[in-house]
Amino acid sequence: MPKRKTEKKKLNIPQKNPEKLIAKDDVRIDGRKLDELRPVKIEVGVLGNADGSAYIEQGKNKILAAVYGPKEVHPRHLALPDRALLRCRYHMAPFSVEERKSPAPSRREVELSKVIREALEPSVFVEYYPRTSIDIFIEVLQADGGTRCAAITVASLALADAGIPMRDLVVACAAGKVDGRLVVDLTDFEDKEGEADVPLALMPNLNAITLLQMDGGLTVDEFEKAVNLAIDGCRELYKFQKEALKSKYVAVKEAVEE
Amino acid sequence: MKQKWLNKSFVFKVMNMPLFYEKKQLVTPGDFLAEGNYIAGENTYKDDDKIYASRVGLVDYDARKIHVVALKAFYVPSVGDTVIGKIVEVGTGGWAVDINAPYLAMLRAADVLDRPFGFRTSDLPSIFDVGDLLITKIIAYDRTRDPLLTVREPGLGKIMRGQLVKVTPTKIPRVIGRKGSMISMIKKETTCQITIGQNGLILINGKTPEDERLAVMALHKIEEESHTSGLTDHVTEMLKKKKEGVEHA
């Protein structure tokens, strides 16, 4: 597998890798169909010391999220007089990729922290708790493409688990173009060798998009299709997300009522 | 009882205000609860005519209002609440107290001392020091300023002994029970003195460590199973069983 690179060289560069990413019968390299998500496993409330937490496995991705707050802001001068300060740290563990990654926050991680925070902020009632901070910590334990999306999905669950009032959960899923075909939920390999990647975050009940990015090249028509594909992926993922949040309580209820 | 409720839901239909969840159904943030002329109660919010849940919890409603009983939330100070807190800082004119809320609470020296407060004459750490636990009451609070506490009431003041249990603040009503049924049962069964802080901290004082351990177990059980029905009976049963076990041993 190629090592994780920081910059993506795409845009009209002819494909160098002769390997077929999609077989004739529309099967992708990992055996999925074009519109099929990777297998997901989500757990809520996995950490005892955080106010809220969640864990996701999406394909080979493994991500932990923890939430603290609302609490007094440190350092004090950062406090906002009219709303809570939402802070987010996206971090990849040194062992999360094939070649050891330096544990210091890279340019990419700083950017993703901001992007994830901005994707989650519209869902949180920050105006309810002025002069406080809500801190989100996202730790990528193992990465295989689409970590920003999976990170948004778990972080949203961790916020809900912390008991922070929210307008809606936020789910995220990517769509993209690989071998000239539109596909959903790209792996690392598909992301790098493919032509385009469109991560999208959605508040499913409000039907509102909180994150929309594109890397690579798509025609207007393809872009629209990719967005719709990503939205469908989000809705599918939302079922798992909601189930995970509920299952924590349903399990107790069933055990007691037996 | 059940019949009555069915009639009510019939009324809702006639008035053309659809409800999408039954009572006590588990919801997650963003769930679309109802549409129409309802009042959005606790842990819900209204967007145009639509009411959505804003926390994980159980739906409850009456003819006009729909709300969600949260399964997990943090404590938000409210004037008049008795809370249990920990001194985290001794300042020049008072103390900063952690009351398990988003905001640090202030306890002013002038409210604690009998005589006028002076910087040189009053040695604050000798009254309350960092790490001391207090039973206090909130006397003033709004979101623009930190909550203000008092200890000048009977039953308030420094905690000298006992065990503290932390539960989710939203479960405090469940710990107390209807008209205090749950808490008085636990007190009776375990012969412990129990002081409940509205912020989710509960102080237990028992004659023996064994009694205290029982009370702690009961409280944990309530927290874990607060969203199930027939809880008071379950807890009573558990306490009786455990007590027997101890006597036999």
User: Best of B24, B43, B68, B72 to disrupt the A interface by mutation (most A CBs within 10 Å)?
Assistant: B72
- Residue B77 forms part of a structural domain: no
The predicted structure's pLDDT at residue B121? 67
**Which of these three, B46, B70, B94, is where a domain ends?**
B70
B95/B132 same-domain check: yes
- Residue B234 forms part of a structural domain: yes
B31 CB neighbours in chain A (<8 A) are: 205
- Residue B230 forms part of a structural domain: yes
CATH code of the domain in which B96 resides:
2.40.50.140
Digitized pLDDT (tens) for each residue of chain B, 249 residues in all:
444 444 444 444 434 567 788 888 999 999 999 988 889 999 999 998 899 999 999 999 888 899 999 988 999 999 999 999 999 999 888 999 999 999 999 999 988 887 777 766 678 899 999 999 999 999 999 878 899 999 999 999 999 999 999 998 988 988 998 889 999 999 998 999 999 999 999 999 999 999 999 999 999 999 888 878 888 888 898 888 888 876 665
Q: Given an 8 Å threshold on Cβ–Cβ distance, is A129 in contact with B224?
A: no
What DSSP line would sit under B110-132, residue for residue? HHH-SSPP-TTT--HHHHS-TT-
Q: Is cis: bond before B169, omega within 30 of 0?
A: no
The predicted structure's pLDDT at residue A20? 81
B181/B211 same-domain check: yes
Residue closest to B242 by CA, chosen among B182, B169, B171, B186: B186
B43 CB neighbours in chain A (<8 A) are: 165
- CB nearest A252 (choices: B55, B70, B224): B224
Q: What is the mean pLDDT of residues A175-196?
A: 94
For B49, the domain range is 2-70
- Residue B75 forms part of a structural domain: no
**Which of these three, B70, B104, B121, is where a domain ends?**
B70
Residue of A nearest to B234 (CA): A256
Q: A231, A207 in Cβ contact below 8 A?
A: no
Residue of higher predicted confidence among A216 and B118: A216
CB proximity under 8 Å: A 2-41 to B: none
B245 vs B249: CA distance, rounded Å: 6
Residue B25 is which amino acid? Q
Per-domain residue ranges of chain A? 40-253
| Tally of domains within chain B | 3
- CB nearest B54 (choices: A130, A167, A242): A167
ipTM score for this prediction: 0.87
Q: Given an 8 Å threshold on Cβ–Cβ distance, is B144 in contact with A125?
A: no
- Residue B115 forms part of a structural domain: yes
- Residue B76 forms part of a structural domain: no
B169/B244 same-domain check: yes
A92 vs A231: CA distance, rounded Å: 26
CATH of the structural domain A40-253, one choice from 3.90.1010.10, 3.40.630.30, 1.10.10.10, 3.30.230.70: 3.30.230.70
The predicted structure's pLDDT at residue B23? 87
**Which of these three, B19, B43, B70, is where a domain ends?**
B70
Whether the pLDDT of residue A207 is over 60: the answer is yes
For residue A239, count other CB atoms closer than 10 A to its CB. Answer: 12
CATH code of the domain in which B237 resides:
3.30.1370.10
Q: Given an 8 Å threshold on Cβ–Cβ distance, is B28 in contact with A206?
A: no
CB proximity under 8 Å: A 84-103 to B: none
B142/B187 same-domain check: no
B178/B221 same-domain check: yes
CATH code of the domain in which B20 resides:
2.40.50.100
